[in-house]
Structure 1
Amino acid sequence: MKLTRGFALLSLVLAAYASSPLASSLVRHESRSELPTGWQQVHRASADLFLPLRVGLKQPNLLELESLLLDVSHPESPNYGQHWEPERVASHFRPSKQAVDTVRQWLQDEGIATSRLRYDPNGWVVANVTVKEAESLLKTEYNIYEHAETSTKHVACGKGYYLPQHVSEHVDFVTPTIHFDVKVKRENEFEKRTVPGAGKHIGQPGAGAVVPKPGGTIKYVYNIIDELQNCDKTITPNCLRALYKFLYEPLVPQKNDYAIVEYTPQAYLADDMDLFFRNFSKSQVGQRPNLSFGFNGESNLDLQYAMALLGKRQNITLYQVGDLPQGASFNNLLNGLDASYCTFEGGNDPLQDGIYPDPLDGGFKGPEDCGKVKKPANVISTSYGYNEADLTPAYTARQCAEYGKLGLMGVTVLYSSGDFGVAGNSNLCLNPDGSQTLDGKLFNPSFPGGCPFITSIGATQVLPGKKVTDPESACMSVIFSGGGFSNYFAMPDYQKSAVTNYLTKFPPPYSANIWNSTGKSRAFPDISANGANYIIGINGDFGLVFGTSASSPVMGAILTAINDARIAIGKKPIGFINPTIYSSSFKDAFNDITIGSNPGCGTNGFNATEGWDPVTGLGTPNFPKLLAKWLLLP
């Protein structure tokens, strides 16, 4: 690789530092080989520019998170369903006093006065420093970077940074440094070109890896008989009921909650909801979701189907995250769900997340909703996502752990797996140097789809010309079910048998260098549901949409019904479901999908096969079987 001037200067700085007595303790803490797509260095950052340097402390006991989850989530565990209270979770993973003292002492020894240091007991040491001081602390060089298409500017150190060994042992990551996580790729659905967007603007139309794909407007004139005869062309709630044998009337809805997450400016339209209900669930005309947290296709889709499938008695909460001027990020959501995740004074990184109170005109003027949700919903569905390669491993690991904590508390967290097959958002694929381009050849997994502590939902469809009673296929109309193997996360124990079986019986016919072929990485999706030809009410008309963003809320509705049935007989919610659904006792509880594939990156992708596969996971739900099996568990 050609040595750039900036990197050469960094090498000279390190060479000089090597003569100091502390040189042996210096380690490279984080690095990246290439800048994210579209970014370029424009000039050195001014030495007197102030940065809010934020040191994320490692949380103790994270290495045992998987075993703790298995203890309360595996059907053969004597502690199945004995979920933790939020206070116990916060205490168990709070950074140690040694970590806090070590980082504070290092900063003070480097000349940062105590008055300039602040500590958030939930995991961050914050220091107001100049660029000159940050470069000295981290032995790196800060530059201003600019995005070629939007002229958006970003301050970062680009390649990497260093910490003393004894400090590095206690630190997850430092910002701002190499993290361009603020940026995600999104597809402008009208101009059909790639445009950049901020992480805190993930609710913008097309932002993130998973958004519903429009299929045009239609005129709906079917009755229920016609509906069931046309499920290959248009999916309605009745089609889904027929596909998955889903008929259920909630028994204790006041004790059970299901939450749909939306990011502003995505928001449902009341008139569209009533248009949908008048045709598919007349008794729910006028019904609205409960609001939490203080452009409409995503929200309308998620809420219309979740509410129609569960009926008017079931409680559904909308987690509306962010305000109109600045939006929000996944971190803003997690702050509201878990106070232990909040950063200093309930705030976040202004380069990555929504900061409240929002000083912008029309912005939310209250404080960050830090731990506002005292008891998260039993099931939470999110139809948004990133490319894994957009984010650094440290950033994704820290966020993934938070989903594991929610699982410990008995929360089922669902995420859409992606809509571009083995490719990433906007069909971007990886290159050997880590960059993402349309002509890349390496498979590009999604995040949080590859996090082992969430349940990743793929997409299926009724094949053209087939009946609703015929076997479904992997979705291959308009979108391709996202799936593959993470480049960041190791394979969890709960899926080793299923994935090993797939790799042994159906080895993918590709060179080992274009996908993670180690057999040791987290594989996804876990399960699937229909994701094609959904009729929704949108802006006063009926339209068709496609995507795993439809599959996730439908799966969430089915799991919510199972929770209701368990709670009604005095049992606990199902919580983190992955260890259970991969267990031998649930082997026949899903409709195995063996038709289709998920193309991308110049290949046919993976094939849907017998058993688990990286296209549709374990398959689609068979509600009566799932209900019976979960009711038998403690």
Structure 2
Amino acid sequence: MRFLALLLAVAGTTLAIPTRSSHVVHETRAVNPLEWIQGVRLDASQIIPLRIGLSQQNLDRIEELLMSVSHPESPTYGQHMSPDEIVDMFAPSNESINAVRDWLVESGISPDRLKVSASKGWLQVNATVAEAEDLLKAKYHVYEHPSGAKQFGCHSYSVPEHIQPHIELIKPTVHFNHRPNPHQKFKRDGVLGSPGFNGPKKSAAHVTITPTLETCDQMITLECLRALYDFNYTPVATDKNTFGIVEFTPQAYLGPDLDLFFRNFTPSLVGKRPVNVLIDGAFVQTAAQSFDYNGESDLDLEYAMGLTAPQPVLLLQTGDIFEGAGFDNWLDAVDGSFCTFEGGDDPTQDGIYPDTQPGGYKGQSCGIIAPPHVVSISYGQDESTVTAAFANRQCTEYAKLGMMGSSILYSSGDSGVAGNGGVCLDSTKQPATNGNVFNPGFPVTCPFVTAVGATQVNPGSTVNDPEGACEQVIFSGGGFSNIFPMPSYQSTAVKNYLSQHTPSFPAGTFNNSGNVRAYPDLSANGANYVIGIDGQFGLVFGTSASAPVVASMITMVNDARIHAGKKPVGFINPVIYSSDFQHAFNDITMGGNQGCGTPGFTAVSGWDPVTGLGTPNFSKILPLFMALP
């Protein structure tokens, strides 16, 4: 009978499919969030935006397809796909759309309540809690935080067995990465952030601006970075090249801060501003001014603009002042095929737009800009806070952006082998106050992004001396994923590390299976950055600084390639791990990334889970990238 029903679904029929067949658990909450207390059941009459992510086609070929345009030995290297080709390649089958739709209709949901997203990837229905609980065999509760914040969700949910192959995930359900109100402090790191915020960290030291190349161990400036990485390049294809920096409202730069910095270090940029791409009602707010509000944006833009001048820098400012935003929101804006306003944005993770609050943004920023050639993001959350289904769904989107020719760089985190704020896991992979199991990050562990760690000019050393792993104020995030398998491009490097430098931690301290994604991929300096902040100079630390620096170098590589009539490099990981690039990086062999009550990993010769392949030498990577088709 079930076989017959599936055949009818394939044929597009609307005949009944049994809805009382055996349910199977589809997802269970990844972790029990610290400090959150389960409260009362959610009101049965409350309406929730149930969003069902349909199984996409060709996901088994995702790495193969990305490698075909990204691997230096591929005959189709650089032949990136168009957005329409991406939609056609991954759109769910009619079989899946019909099977899920018929299940909902047979369960009492009228067809006129169902909507399918433009990409066909999501099916939406605004359902009562009672309807959702009956469909999913789940129980929704309200969760409360000592700060007064509230969130709802369920611990697990189930779907009929014959429907499970057609569904990747359903939201809102078990996903519990609380997205703070934009006006609330994100207390774990002592800074504002939505989503989780890694940095930067601020030094208490007063800064008097007299830096020279002789004092780069105390104050990093543009000139220090140029000297460290032999990075001297003036762009010539600025009208064709694109470089984006993601920020989340209410964090925003201050124009006078940029000018303070530029006046001292890049006078030609005084009065210049990034090109605003305002996503979901975002604006560059100036009412709230403090390091917590302005530190990240000031840092990112001062160095990204300074290192690539006169290249225009796109500011992907995301979220209105009421809802804020999550990672899916900026992805919606750069890829219309991913845009899920009729589908997948999760109110516990993302801003939901149109925003119904008074004064909220009533539009929807869906595919409003082509994906920039390079995007730098200095935000992240703990991998333990997401389910495998959620993580893989978002990670797939980064692969699609890579197929379209974008390089996506994420900072690796500032707490070494620990998660945000130094939180570690217990033996059951749950966050614990005194945990000693390593807590990798996300999205930085996605194998389709480039993870950027942090180094430092060691105290007393100069720009002519080897750097070490950053061990001042912050520790470079790095380690091994608990979700993602090892991508083929890093297999040799990581296996060499594990065999030649076997970490001596007790079993279970980290995923030492030897077949999972390892990070970071590469690094750049992350200590003692001089920035203009709230009208004065300060010093900051973090992989928040490293990511835009590496992104600036890749942007200049793209400039040279575009000027020569070539395509942007797109996803760079298969190239930088290739044998041709083996000597294009400054190998980091000093320092570690302590956390979770351990010394963490140690930087060694070759790739390591502290600084990756090392720091780029621009004068070496440029001709190698230029030699590619």
The aligned residue for residue 549 of structure 1 is 544
Alignment of 1:282 with 2:280, yes or no, is no
Alpha carbons 1:185, 1:426 under 8 Å: kept: no
1:85 Cα deviation after fit: 1.0
Of 163, 171, 176 in structure 2, the residue corresponding to residue 175 of structure 1 is: 171
Mapping of residues 578-617 of structure 1, within 5 Å: 578-617=573-612
Q: Distance in 1 between matches of 2:353 and 2:30?
A: 34
Q: Does 1:571 align with 2:569?
A: no
SS at match of 1:169: helix
Q: 1:182–1:353: 8 Å Cα contact kept in structure 2?
A: no
Q: Which residue of 2 aligns with 1:199?
A: none
> Is 1:298 matched up with 2:296?
yes
Q: Secondary structure at the match of 1:253?
A: coil
Deviation at 1:584, TM superposition (A): 0.7
- Identify if the C-alpha distance between structure 1 residues 364 and 347 changes in structure 2 by more than 3 Å, giving closer, same or farther: farther
In the superposition, the TM-score normalised over structure 2's length comes to 0.91
Distance 2:135 2:238 in 1: 54
**Alignment partner for residue 328 of structure 1, among 299, 306, 325?**
325
Residue 387 (structure 1) aligns with:
382
Partners of 1:317 and 1:195 lie apart in 2 by 27
Cα deviation, 1:241-285, whole Å, max 9, x if unaligned, reads: 000000001121111111111111111111011100111011111
The answer to whether the 8 A contact 2:194-2:248 is kept is: no
CA contact (8 A) 1:184 1:390 kept: no
Q: 1:542 to 1:207 in 2, by over 3 A?
A: farther
Letter in 2 for 1:588: H
Structure 1 residue corresponding to 2:618, chosen from 605, 620, 623: 623
RMSD: 2.0
- 2:125 aligned partner: 127
The alpha carbon displacement at 1:35 in A equals: 2.0
Question: Contact 2:124–2:342 at 8 Å: present in 1 too?
Answer: no
Q: How many Å separate the matches in 1 of 2:383 and 2:19? A: 35
- For 1:16, the equivalent position in structure 2 comes to none
Structure 2 residue corresponding to 1:364, chosen from 352, 361, 365:
361
8 Å Cα contact 1:181-1:392 kept in structure 2:
no
Picking from 33, 46, 54, the partner of 1:36 is 33
Separation in structure 1 between the aligned mates of residue 546 and residue 30 of structure 2, nearest angstrom = 35
Q: 1:183 to 1:272 in 2, by over 3 A?
A: closer
State whether residues 375 and 407 of structure 2, in contact with CA within 8 Å, keep that contact through their aligned partners in structure 1.
yes
**Post-superposition offset of 1:26:** 2.6
Number of aligned residues: 597
Match of residue 262 from structure 1: 247
How far the C-alpha of 1:63 sits from its partner, in A, is: 1.5
Are residue 118 (structure 1) and residue 115 (structure 2) matched? yes
> Which residue number in structure 1 is paired with residue 284 of structure 2?
none
What is the distance in 1 between the residues matched to 2:189 and 2:273? 34
Structure 2 CA distance, aligned partners of 1:362 and 1:33?
35
The residue type equivalent to 2:56 in the other structure is Q
**Take 1:195 and 1:589, find their aligned partners in 2: how far apart are those partners?**
35
Name which of structure 1's ranges 32-41 and 572-581 shifts more when overlaid on structure 2.
32-41
Q: 1:206 to 1:474 in 2, by over 3 A?
A: farther
CA contact (8 A) 1:185 1:208 kept: no
Of residues 188, 194, 219, the one that matches 2:188 is 194
2:406 is the alignment partner of 1:421: no
Contiguous gaps of at least 5 residues in structure 1: 1-20, 197-202
Return the offset for 1:162: 1.1
1:6-57: per-residue Cα shift (whole Å, max 9, x none)? xxxxxxxxxxxxxxx9777432111137521122221222333332222111
* Contact 2:29 2:175 (C-alpha < 8 Å) held by counterparts: no
Contact 1:209 1:387 in 2 (8 A): no
Change (3 A) 1:228 1:340: same
**Structure 1 CA distance, aligned partners of 2:529 and 2:495?**
34
Q: How far 1:438 sits from its partner (Å)?
A: 3.1
State the match for 1:376 in structure 2: 371
CA contact (8 A) 1:126 1:344 kept: no
How far apart are residue 489 of structure 1 and its match? 0.3
Gaps of 5+ in 2: 1-17, 280-292
Aligned to 1:11: none
Larger displacement relative to structure 2 (268-277 or 112-121): 112-121
Tell me, yes or no, if the aligned pair for 2:30 and 2:387 is still in contact at 8 Å. no
Residue 444 of structure 2: aligned partner: 449
Give the match for residue 472 of structure 2: 477
CA–CA distance in 2 between the matches of 1:310 and 1:45?
Answer: 51
Contact 2:52 2:343 in 1 (8 A): no
Q: Give the conservation status (yes or no) of the 8 Å contact 2:133–2:139.
A: yes
Match among 296, 305, 308 for residue 307 of structure 1: 305
Return the alpha-carbon distance in structure 2 between the equivalents of residues 356 and 451 of structure 1.
26
Paired letter, 1:601: C
Q: Is the 8 A contact 1:293 1:319 kept in 2?
A: yes
Closer, same or farther in 2 for the Cα pair 1:604/1:503, shift >3 Å?
same
427-436 vs 69-78, greater mean Cα deviation? 427-436
Q: Tell me, yes or no, if the aligned pair for 1:185 and 1:195 is still in contact at 8 Å.
A: no
Give, in whole Å, the separation in 2 of the partners of 1:346 and 1:273. 38
Amino acid across the alignment from 2:206: I
State yes or no: 1:84 paired with 2:81. yes
1:144 corresponds to 2:142: yes
Q: Give the aligned partner of residue 7 of structure 1.
A: none
The CA distance in 1 between the partners of 2:323 and 2:138, in whole Å, is 30
Q: Give yes or no for contact 1:185–1:209 (8 Å, CA) kept in 2.
A: no
Shift of 1:341: 1.1
Once the two structures are superposed, what CA deviation does each residue of 1:288-319 show, in whole Å capped at 9, x if it has no partner?
Answer: 111112511101000001111112x2121111
- Report the alpha carbon displacement of residue 431 of structure 1 after superposing the two structures with TM: 1.3
Supply the distance in 2 between the matched residues of 1:322 and 1:194 (Cα, whole angstroms). 22
2:294 maps to a residue whose letter is N
User: Counterparts of 1:29-68 in structure 2 under 5 Å?
Assistant: 29-32=26-29, 34-68=31-65
2:289 corresponds to which residue? none
* SS, match of residue 53 in structure 2: strand
Asked if 1:240 is matched to 2:229, the reply is no
Structure 1 residue aligned with 2:340: 343
Q: Cα distance, 1:382 vs. partner?
A: 0.4
Moved more, 294-303 or 36-45: 36-45
TM-aligned CA distance change 1:54 to 1:450, over 3 Å: same
User: Given that residues 41 and 146 in structure 1 are in contact (C-alpha distance below 8 angstroms), is that contact kept between their aligned partners in structure 2?
Assistant: yes
Deviates more, 1:507-516 or 1:471-480: 507-516
CA distance in 2, matches of 1:128, 1:305: 44
**Residue in 1 that maps onto 2:11:** none
With the length of structure 1 as denominator, give the TM-score of the two structures: 0.91
The 8 Å contact of residues 116 and 342 in structure 2, kept in 1 or not, is answered as no
Report the Cα distance in structure 1 between the residues aligned to 2:533 and 2:341, rounded to whole angstroms. 40
Equivalent position amino acid for 1:114 in 2: P
| Alignment partners' CA distance in 2, 1:279 and 1:559 | 25
CA apart distance, 1:362: 4.1
Query: How far apart, in 1, do the equivalents of 2:486 and 2:339 lie?
Result: 28
**Given the superposition, is the C-alpha separation of residues 47 and 206 from structure 1 closer, same or farther in structure 2, using an over 3 Å criterion?**
closer
Q: How much has 1:193 moved relative to structure 2?
A: 5.3
1:144 deviates by 2.0
Alpha-carbon distance in structure 2 between the residues aligned to 1:616 and 1:320: 29
Q: Which segments of structure 1 move beyond 6 Å, counting only runs of 4 or more?
A: 21-24
Tell me the alpha carbon deviations over residues 591-631 of structure 1, each in whole angstroms, 9 at most, x when there is no partner.
00000000000100000000000000000010111001111
1:104 maps to 101
Q: 1:251 aligned to 222, 225, 236, which one? A: 236
SS at 1:580 equivalent: helix
Matches of 2:326 and 2:495, distance apart in 1: 35
Does structure 1 residue 529 correspond to structure 2 residue 529?
no
Q: 1:260 to 1:555 in 2, by over 3 A?
A: same
Q: What's the offset of the Cα at 1:566?
A: 0.9
- Identity fraction in percent: 52
